[in-house]
A and B are shown apart, each in its own frame.
Chain A
Amino acid sequence: MHQETPSSPLPPASSPATSDSQGLCGEGRVLLGHGGGGRLTDELLSSCVLPHLNNAVLSELLDSAVLEAGRERVALTIDSYVVTPLEFPGGDIGKLAVCGTVNDLTMVGARPLGLALAVVAQEGLEQALLDRIIRSVGEMARAAGVNIVTGDTKVVERGVLGAQGPGLILTTAGVGLLPISPEAERHLDPRRVRPGDMVLITGRVAEHGLAVMLARHLPEAEIKVQSDVAPLNGLMESLWGCAEVQADPAALVFLRDPTRGGLSGLAADLAQRARVRVVLEEEVIPVAPAVRHAAGLLGLDLLEVANEGKAVLVVRPEAAQAVLAALRRHALGRDAAIIGRIEPVPDGGMPGVELITTIGGRRLIQKPFGEQVARIC
């Protein structure tokens, strides 16, 4: 019997690492797959990173940390962005850097207060390209209703970011505030997820990852996919503000964006943290026909492909229809769907994710392992 690799990168609770601990790092080198957001990433974090930094806030491993500051609850997050090519159908690295961080704040229920931007450019980068990308940062920040309030710029020698790379890394940090009045308090916590709850997604899956992969590997392909990169704070605030959710905000129990690792990675993590079975129905998961075709072409499982403008919600069953209707009233949620439900772990079974396929079969969904690679033929 297979030993389940823990999907959560948390160090074991029984052996809290101290700041002077050695970590569990092996002797090998960091591989590209360690950055894929899958189980290899989890391993690197739990062996080389988290043991040195262990603390109660970090160990929640949320999209944003939530800090107490007097009576305020402050959300703090940071992300670095590397993407090849820098510009792709539907967006660019600048748009990505704003939306990713705004969405990380949004996923813990916070309203973005301000962003910080760090630019690391390699000598030789075309200024016109940099100009387009930073303009895109500005446009997207305005669209999300948040300002870039501080920043930093560094230039590195040619070759430091790799001879072949596009030569630009962006990092954005963000601060947000969580509403504190008791009636508006947002109880987002996977530990509140329980059997019977419903799983929703705000729109079609896999568009960002496939847009980038097609642009990178098959630029001449006739099939075109646009990245879904978008800030989700507007959509989520309209949801929090609608009458049905206002009446019972606690009915919304979990919220996360299926970025790297896609819907599969998110669902697998949710199942582990909530100690439940997540059962998804393939037939009702929204997918654009071009995306289905492109995933087939590259041999990719589209449930594992990254999204940058979608959120997955878990809600109490009695609120599901109202939440669905509220999402669909917003432009970014018009393809929203109920895609599954939460079930108890069967006797003798383990937490995990099952997919009921379009032909009525069943199979497992697991957290992706490492980098996504297209098949050979």
Chain B
Amino acid sequence: MLPQQFKREHMAQVLEGWRAAAAQVARPVAFMEVCGTHTVAAWRSGLHSLMPVTVTLLSGPGCPVCVTSQGDIDGMVELAGRSGVTFCSYGDMLRVPGKKGSLEQARSAGADVRVVYSALDAVGLAARQPRRQVVFAAVGFETTAPASAVAIQEAQRQGLTNFSVLVSHKRIVPAMLAISSGASPGGSSGGPSGGGGGGLAQVGIDGFLCPGHVAVIVGAKAFAPVVEECGLPCVVAGFEPLQMAQGLARLTELVRDKSPVVENLYPQAVTEEGNARALELMDEVFCPAPARWRALGAIADSGLGLRREYQDFDAAARFGLHPEEAPEPVGCRCGDVIMGRCRPVDCAMFGGACTPVHPIGPCMVSSEGSCQAWFKYGEGLH
């Protein structure tokens, strides 16, 4: 049998088991895929078109661009526009609109904005141009934070005084807890979360498909509090369509069996304890700190702050930046999407006023954003 044919038959078996389990649950269930890469994989592979009809897949807060608060984005754009500053960012961040435009627009107006693929690239840039202040926008979850830590330590080792970091890192588990416990609904940022559409308002979540990449770093056991505090099953899964389907089928079985546990279906990459070296690096440079999330508002210990011995690299302090909390765009329901309160298509602006070419909210900007994935791969089929 050809490997492809084997895969397809295996997939058919998994789908059959999943449909049977979904039928046994005898009510609609909704799972949150926390990671943006899962969001895209589910759409790109056509998984949405094959799922049991009673299962809804909602996107969670795992797209780094989508959860960055409006105030943080304004801060980035402001800093990028300062003279003498070279502002380095991951590419996905460039198009998110702030109140004074996006980083991409700042660049076209003359700001020195560079797309980097690793934090160390920004350190290299700082070493090569000692007369410019190089600022790195440190965004992302536990997946990118260790790389930021390495870069900061390297800058310290080289004695670079023209390198700093605008820290906007987030920790995923506190956000999952906030969502599943229904805490801080809508956040305190003043974003209107009822901007139109009805759809799945206030839909409950029956379990989490845990982010595989983050789990590589933090380990499967990091999700135990979600089970303990909220009673929701968590399954760690890989990014192949088959792995995702297996993960979601297993979640359905756990709901059916009323068995809220953490299960790791991605053992080839994820251990119970995580990556000790990466966790150690993160811990050397950062400590848990409060962070402001789009829609979720401020959540205790959900971000990372620089430890005392690395405070010199804090760009916000160096440049006297005090990002104010800014309201989210009027009518934009990205917050509800991230919280699993609605699907992208339930937003009145989806596909009309807000498209990937002219996005209003970050979920339509990011290539891993839920709205962009729904629009790009699903618009017209649903």
Contacts and interface: CB of A to CB of B under 8 A. Distances in A.
Given A28-B105, A32-B108, A357 B46 contact: yes
Contact of A363 (B43, B140, B367): B43
B108 A29 contact: yes
A375 B8 contact: no
Contacts of B64: 376-377
Contacts of A360: 8, 11-12, 46, 50
B4 A375 contact: no
Contacts of B32: none
B141 interface: yes
Contacts of B36: 375
Contacts of A356: 46
B65 interface: yes
Interface stretch (B202-210, B288-296, B297-305, B371-379): B371-379
A4 to B, nearest CB: 9
A299 interface: yes
Contact of B379 (A2, A218, A301, A371): A2
B143 A377 contact: yes
A377 B90 CA distance: 10
Interface string A292-305: 00001001010000
Contacts of A374: 90-92, 117
A374 B92 CA distance: 7
Interface in A339-377: 349-350, 352, 355-364, 366, 369-371, 373-377
A373 B65 CA distance: 13
Contacts of A30: 108
Interface residues of B, number: 58
Contacts of A376: 64-65, 90, 92-93, 139-140, 143-144, 368
Nearest to B373: A363
A29 B130 CA distance: 30
A31 B376 contact: no
B88 to A, nearest CB: 12
B241 A359 contact: yes
A210 B111 CA distance: 28
Please indicate which of the listed interface residues A296, A355, A373 has the most CB atoms of chain B within 10 Å of its own CB: A373
Given A3-B352, A29-B105, A364-B378, A359 B242 contact: yes
B357 A363 contact: no
B44 A301 contact: yes
A15 interface: no
A298 to B, nearest CB: 9
B46 A361 contact: yes
Contacts of B117: 217-218, 374
A308 interface: no
Contacts of A283: 4
A359 B104 contact: no
Given A32-B108, A362-B46, A369 B357 contact: yes
Contacts of B333: none
A69 interface: no
B8 A377 contact: no
B7 A358 contact: yes
Contact of A362 (B12, B65, B376, B381): B381
Interface string A153-165: 0000000000010
A39 interface: yes
B370 interface: no
Nearest to B241: A359
Contacts of B114: 164
A355 B46 contact: yes
Interface in B100-118: 104-105, 107-109, 114-115, 117
B108 A5 contact: no
A358 B108 contact: no
B357 A40 contact: yes
Contact of A359 (B11, B375, B378): B11
Contacts of A43: 357
A89 interface: no
A1 interface: yes
B213 interface: yes
Nearest to B94: A373
A32 B357 contact: no
Across chains A and B, which 10 residue pairs bring their CB atoms closest together, nearest first?
Answer: A361-B46, A2-B351, A373-B91, A357-B46, A377-B143, A29-B108, A369-B356, A217-B117, A363-B377, A361-B49
Interface of A: 1-3, 5, 28-33, 39-40, 43, 164, 217-218, 283, 296, 299, 301, 349-350, 352, 355-364, 366, 369-371, 373-377
Given A355-B46, A377-B140, 6 more contacts: A2-B379, A301-B44, A359-B8, A363-B45, A364-B381, A369-B357
Interface of B: 4, 7-8, 11-12, 36-37, 40, 43-50, 64-65, 90-95, 104-105, 107-109, 114-115, 117, 139-141, 143-144, 213-214, 239, 241-242, 245, 350-352, 355-357, 367-368, 375-381
13 contacts: A218-B117, A296-B239, A357-B44, A357-B45, A357-B46, A359-B8, A359-B47, A359-B245, A360-B12, A364-B378, A373-B91, A375-B36, A377-B213
